[in-house]
Structure 1
Amino acid sequence: MLGMKLSCVTPLKTGRQRTMALRHRTNNAAPQQNNDNINIVLLGKKGVGKSSSGNTILGEERFKCGRSLSAVTQESTVQRSVIGGRSVSVIDTPGFFCTNLSQEKLSREFARSVFLSSPGVHAFLFVVPFGRFTKQEEEILEKVKKVFGKDVLKHVILLFTYGDECIRERMDEEIDGNDVVRRVVQSCQGYHVLNNKDLTDRQQVSDLLMKIDSIERNQGYYTNEVYEWAQKWPLEQYGKYLKTILMK
């Protein structure tokens, strides 16, 4: 399906353009996948704690975050750290689908997030504050599937923030008592809870990386036509292609 849609994209005209696109990808994308690298993409509405979660995972303040009436994160960015001897790349994104970004800017940032996480992703963390899960989150996941492909849910973990405000031992019970949350958790690869107020709690990060490792063992890292074409087209051209998908 994606391959058919891409036929409407104007092909690269020169070898120089291909070289520039390859150079851009090599300099900015996350490291090539191997057993020592982990690629993580943060998804979710604005203000849910994506940037804070990225900082918690990396163990230090790398992403700008804080309460604001407008989105703090305006463009997709990547930060890396070595955790337990492994290179971990975290790609933070704007609040896709729930943002004041123009369609043009939104498409470009979606494209940028794909470029930064090429050639593939070990886990997409769909970030939701504990106690604030609504039907809209389920709708956002449907849009994520539209862009990244239906198999993307095999690599999605529901990440609850505000872990300091919940009783973790009762999370399964809480989830079972909410039809929408239970349905989403079952469609994804489970859930995880983070307390972003405590960057020193590395056990919660180790537990998350273990869950991601489990996905990798069972599924490998996620890549599809979206990622394959992102490695062939310049960012601007690829953004125009994604815009046609997002507008549907």
Structure 2
Amino acid sequence: MECQCDKDGDVVPGWWMGGNSFQMGGFAVVGYLLYRFSQTLPALIRWPIRLFCSLTGLSALWGWVSHLVRTLRGIKRFIKFMSWMWRCIVGSSTDGDMSNPSSKPGLRLILIGPAGGGRTTLLNTLLGNSDKNAPKGLLLNCTKQMTVLDGREVTLIDTPDILGSSLGINRRAREALRSLQLVSPGPHAFLLVLQAPGSSMGIGHDANQVMQAMLELFGEGVLGHIIPVLTHADRLDGRLTVDQLLEVDTGGLRRAVSLCGQKPELVNNRPDCPPEEQSATRRQLVERVMELKDVRGHFVHELQRREDRIKEELLNDMASALAGKLGHM
């Protein structure tokens, strides 16, 4: 085959490069497909196709494309390696990050207390919401909320007035058990929300009667999982502390506190409470619940234990019945 040269002896480009850009693009695509397809064919057919690609210059084009692809793949592998190194370095330094909810075990809380005691306001404080976004009207059923407090995923259950008489006996019992189901296998703490004595809110709560209602619904085992929370501290004008409130108490607050063995927390319900004070309240309550969890674990109702025993007995009976059926086959 004669070499195509110009009068100066330089090689003339392949005939496929003499056409317009449309033709060149078409030949490039055809050559690429032929060259790649030829690699899967027998040698008798493969070599003529490769010869055609070589004569037309398409094999050189494919070689250049292959080199480019290999270069891009190398860059991609390098980037992936550097990304992996970065995750190893940064991940090891953020294992204890307080903002990572998966870095610490979660908590399960039930907010409970008589109507008008500030339970919903405390819930909004824990959720970081304002009272403007709080649901209006009387709460009739337990509600479940999720949030992250101090780097922990926290489940919060708001309860209706199950310690009062507004719902009726059957409804109170139902909602009390439902609150436990929503935080299965059990809550780490009950935040017993009461109006602070002397806050002049016009609602009188006998803490001793409230505690007796708790015992009726949940049994004596609940005493070890109660943290009293006294609300409306803003109405006290800062003149009293928790210790002073207990000293001047003329109701059942001191007796209720002595039953559960936990010192109450005094919180502010003011609508314009500064965010810093709300954050401090959240941190303090989380610390109290964690201390209680480390000592007591989570609460389990006696009816839940009975339910577990019934389920186990039912499972054994069903297994025996199935085994007998298999034995007769």
Same fold (TM over 0.5): yes
In the alignment, which residue of structure 2 is the partner of 1:208? 285
In the alignment, which residue of structure 2 is the partner of 1:15? none
Deviation string for 1:112-151 (max 9, x for gaps)? 1121122111111111111268673312211211221212
More helix by share: 2
In the alignment, which residue of structure 2 is the partner of 1:77? 143
Q: CA deviation at 1:230?
A: 6.2
In the alignment, which residue of structure 2 is the partner of 1:154? 224
- Out of 39, 42, 50, the residue aligned to residue 111 of structure 2 is 42
Name structure 1 gaps, 5 residues minimum. Answer: 1-33, 234-248
Name structure 2 gaps, 5 residues minimum. Answer: 1-102, 311-329
How far apart in 1 are the matches of 2:153 and 2:265? Answer: 21
In the alignment, which residue of structure 1 is the partner of 2:122? 53
How far apart in 1 are the matches of 2:115 and 2:219? Answer: 22
Whether the aligned pair in 2 keeps the contact of 1:161 and 1:193 (CA below 8 Å) is yes
Q: CA deviation at 1:65?
A: 4.5
Q: CA deviation at 1:228?
A: 3.7
Query: What is the TM-score with the length of structure 2 in the denominator?
Result: 0.54
Q: CA deviation at 1:191?
A: 0.6
Whether the aligned pair in 2 keeps the contact of 1:118 and 1:231 (CA below 8 Å) is no
How far apart in 1 are the matches of 2:309 and 2:161? Answer: 26
Could you say what the CA RMSD is over the residues aligned between the two structures, in angstroms? 2.8
How far apart in 2 are the matches of 1:61 and 1:47? Answer: 17
- Mean CA deviation greater in 132-141 or 187-196: 132-141
How far apart in 1 are the matches of 2:239 and 2:282? Answer: 15
How far apart in 1 are the matches of 2:152 and 2:234? Answer: 27
Structure 1 residue runs of 4+, over 3 Å off? 61-66, 132-136, 226-233
Amino acid at match of 2:121: S
How far apart in 1 are the matches of 2:130 and 2:309? Answer: 33
Whether the aligned pair in 2 keeps the contact of 1:45 and 1:99 (CA below 8 Å) is no
Q: CA deviation at 1:84?
A: 2.2
How far apart in 2 are the matches of 1:231 and 1:79? Answer: 26
Whether the aligned pair in 2 keeps the contact of 1:122 and 1:222 (CA below 8 Å) is yes
Amino acid at match of 2:118: G
The 1:224/1:105 distance shift into structure 2, 3 A limit, reads closer
In the alignment, which residue of structure 2 is the partner of 1:141? 211
Q: Map 1:1-248 onto structure 2 (within 5 A).
A: 36-61=105-130, 64-65=134-135, 72-131=138-197, 136-166=206-236, 167=238, 170-178=241-249, 180-188=252-260, 189-196=262-269, 197=271, 198=273, 200=275, 201-229=278-306
The structure having more radius of gyration, on CA atoms, is: 2
Secondary structure of the structure 2 residue equivalent to 1:91: strand
Query: What is the TM-score with the length of structure 1 in the denominator?
Result: 0.70
- Mean CA deviation greater in 85-94 or 136-145: 136-145
Aligned pair count reads 197
How far apart in 2 are the matches of 1:104 and 1:114? Answer: 16
